[in-house]
Amino acid sequence: MMNILVASASAKTGCAVVEILSAQGTVKIKALVRNPSSNTAKSIAALPNVSLVVGDFNDVQSIKDALHGVDRATLLGKNHSTTERLITLCNEIMKLAFIAAATEAGVEAVVRISTYGALIGLNSTGVTGVYAKAHARIEQYIEDHDSKQLAGSAAEAKATGHISMPVADNTSTFAMIDPRDVAGAAVAILVQPTEKLQQFLSLRQVQVHRPERKSF
């Protein structure tokens, strides 16, 4: 039975990934959490084929230990305001460390879930957002190191290279999506047989959209 590590398993999308994988009953799930005593951690620990693994992105060794014996993994991290420059940078570094550790551990593939599209380059004209740049750097790292990763995006990223982000003006509209649908898309990729998985890996990025555009 395949072993899948779900990083940030107690986060909303991560928890949904664990629940869907458990319900399918075809894989073993290692749920990475920082606090095993939290209500969410206890809830997912009670699910079939789920075992909790305690770890922290700040502790590289704990991540390496969590990745031991893992076939595939999914990665998502907490989102921060673009004004929190230092926190955003640290979050970026921790994700890069996870990807490097997964590659070192021989993990076949990592599905990285992003709540914002990052179809931009590091030198894209007019792009100054720290959060967007962080995503671009992570994806550039993946490309440079030829890691077998798949960047998943849950938001609308325009073909022009600009990124739509929510604003509270009640006039702009966005194609929002339920985190459970994002989790479902990630799971669908994670459990593919190797030959099918390679087709997704060759795409490098898959966008998940909701058809209706809503205002805030």
Indicate which CATH number applies to the domain containing 201.
3.40.50.720
Whether the model clears a pTM of 0.85, i.e. scores above it, the answer is: no
Give the amino acid at 124: S
Q: Which residue has the higher pLDDT, 214 or 20?
A: 20
Boundaries of domain holding 163: 2-215
Instruction: Report the domain count for the chain.
Output: 1
Does residue 152 surpass a pLDDT of 60? no
Determine which of 61-75, 107-121, 141-155, 180-194 has the lowest per-residue pLDDT on average. 141-155
What is the tens place of the pLDDT at every residue in 128-146?
Answer: 555 555 556 656 665 666 5
Q: With CA atoms as reference, report the closest residue to 52 among 10, 23, 21, 94.
A: 10
Q: What percent of the chain has pLDDT over 70?
A: 60
pLDDT tens-digit series, residues 24-75: 999 999 999 999 999 999 999 999 999 999 999 888 899 999 999 999 999 8
CB neighbour class for 124 (10 Å; exposed up to 12, middle 13-18, buried from 19) = middle
DSSP letter, residue 171: S
